[in-house]
Amino acid sequence: MADKPQTSSLKPQTVLVTGGAGFIGSHTVDALIREGCSVRILDNFSKPVHLKGRPDYIPDEAEVIEGDVRDKAAWERSLAGVDAVFHLAAYQDYLPDFSKFFHVNSVGTALLYEVAVERKIPLKKVVVASSQAVYGEGRYRCPKDRSIHYPDIRSAEALSRGEWDHRCPECGGVLEPQPTDESRVNPQNQYALSKYTQELIALNIGRRYDIPTVAMRYSIVQGPRQSFYNAYSGACRIFSLSYFFDSQPSIYEDGNQIRDFVNINDVVAANLLVLEKDEADYRVFNVGGGRPYTVKEFDRIVRKVFGKEEMEPRMAHEYRFGDTRHIISDITSLKALGWEPRYTPEKSVRDYRDWLMRQVDIDDVLDCAERKMKEMGVVRRAAGVKEDK
């Protein structure tokens, strides 16, 4: 069972959670029910996230509407009688099906507000799931002259040569990653662009029609119920499954890329906090773990949790085209509302491991997403870089 959120003063109300059968959505549903809210879920149980169909962890107390956020009629059914909305349904992937990102993430969000305005639904709050991805490569500093830079996506040419780091355009030195606050965005891939347009739609239409709205820029959320089959689930899924099956995982690039991991219980606490706080209205917030880790450091955490310290990962010098080199979220704004990340990546991995141990029929999950990304040219190998065995 997930830990109780940090806040427990939420007034009972009727809340719609889109994507409520998913990772962040289902944990948010559980917390809302514990707080005495009536909860309705809108989810289409789409593959590959729900490859085996409707998950068994959906609580009986929740009303479930099976439908798609691109369908206006589904919104009309789902929003009837609702006080607040967590709009967490989204399309996440590395695949180049560009239009789908905007159909699901942007158009789906526009339909939420379209129906709310047309039907005159008096929503007290809408909380929209955005992403740290909107920052692209984020904020960097030159170690020589201390100048600040916001570099664009790394070129395919540089990556193919195994040149992983951003360099100062003046001195040529390797730029140092810095925490990135909410003030400047630089979306670089299809997912990031769709999430930023989703923010613009939600915050601007919300303000225009007096629908209090908050956008949450989650960093890498970790914990149980992350889909086995979704490539976007990231390092926790890849490393945990690999060590679970006694298989040597591959680390992309050189393993020194920095990531910001946040536990699902901390994310749920942040969600419930902004739902009740008027000070959060019409703002965006970073939701991060408060401490950066390299991918190599995270791999060591997973190995320790699974008792596989002797099994080294494989450094194949492959990369995912469109990945950021480093990204760290500045969480000062959310902390000012009274929130604090409490849990470590070690806890996230332990909880994921315990959940994994209870699953059945998962023998085919390890290579599914990776194989598809390679077929689509998302995962590539740096030419001329020798593979480490």
Residue 106 and residue 197 in contact, taking contact as beta carbons nearer than 8 Å: yes
d(CA 37, CA 10) in angstroms, rounded, equals 9
Q: Which two tokens stand for residue 269?
A: 């606490």
Asked if pLDDT for residue 218 goes beyond 50, the answer is yes
pLDDT at 35: 96
- Local confidence band at 302 (pLDDT 50, 70, 90 cut-offs): very high
User: Mean pLDDT, to the nearest integer, of 195-220?
Assistant: 98
SS (HEC) of 225-285: CCCCCCHHHCHHHHHHHHHHCCCCCECCCCCCCEEEEEEHHHHHHHHHHHHHCHHHCCEEE
- Local confidence band at 251 (pLDDT 50, 70, 90 cut-offs): very high
pLDDT at 2: 43
Tell me 308's DSSP state: -
**ω into 48 cis (within 30 of 0):** yes
d(CA 278, CA 268) in angstroms, rounded, equals 18
Find all residues with CB under 8 Å of 263, minimum gap 6, and list them: 221, 222, 223, 289, 341, 342, 343, 344, 345, 347, 348
Residue 6 and residue 32 in contact, taking contact as beta carbons nearer than 8 Å: no
339-373 pLDDT, tens digit per residue, is 999 999 999 999 999 999 998 777 666 666 566 66
Instruction: Pick the more confident residue, 175 or 367.
Output: 175
pLDDT at 351: 97
Segment among 115-119, 151-155, 261-265, 380-384 with least mean pLDDT: 380-384
Instruction: Pick the more confident residue, 253 or 1.
Output: 253
- Local confidence band at 257 (pLDDT 50, 70, 90 cut-offs): very high
Instruction: Pick the more confident residue, 367 or 163.
Output: 163
pLDDT at 187: 95
Q: Which two tokens stand for residue 289?
A: 């773990």
Q: Which two tokens stand for residue 20?
A: 């409520």
Q: Strands 258-263, 292-294: parallel, antiparallel or unpaired by DSSP?
A: antiparallel
d(CA 322, CA 150) in angstroms, rounded, equals 16
Q: Strands 139-141, 148-149: parallel, antiparallel or unpaired by DSSP?
A: antiparallel
pLDDT at 389: 45
pLDDT at 316: 80
Per the rule left: phi > 0, alpha: psi between -120 and 50, beta: everything else, 225 is left
| Max Cα-Cα span within the chain | 62
pLDDT at 364: 60
d(CA 129, CA 323) in angstroms, rounded, equals 20
Closest to 292 (Cα-Cα) out of 352, 344, 226, 218: 344
Residue 103 CA, chain-centre distance (Å), reads 18
If one counts every other C-beta atom within 10 angstroms of the C-beta of residue 135, the result is 26
pLDDT at 360: 76
Instruction: Pick the more confident residue, 327 or 5.
Output: 327
10 Å CB burial of residue 375 (0-12, 13-18, 19+) is: exposed
pLDDT at 8: 47
Q: In what order do the strands lie in the sheet with 38-43?
A: 63-66, 38-43, 14-18, 84-87, 125-131, 213-218, 283-287
Q: What count of residues does the chain have?
A: 389
Q: Strands 379-381, 148-149: parallel, antiparallel or unpaired by DSSP?
A: unpaired
Closest to 252 (Cα-Cα) out of 98, 93, 133, 388: 388
If one counts every other C-beta atom within 10 angstroms of the C-beta of residue 30, the result is 21
Closest to 271 (Cα-Cα) out of 87, 80, 3: 87
Instruction: Pick the more confident residue, 169 or 362.
Output: 169
pLDDT at 113: 98
What average pLDDT does the chain have? Answer: 91
184-193 pLDDT, tens digit per residue, is 999 998 999 9
Class of the CATH domain delimited by 14-381:
alpha beta
45-85 pLDDT, tens digit per residue, is 987 677 677 899 999 999 999 999 999 999 999 999 999 99
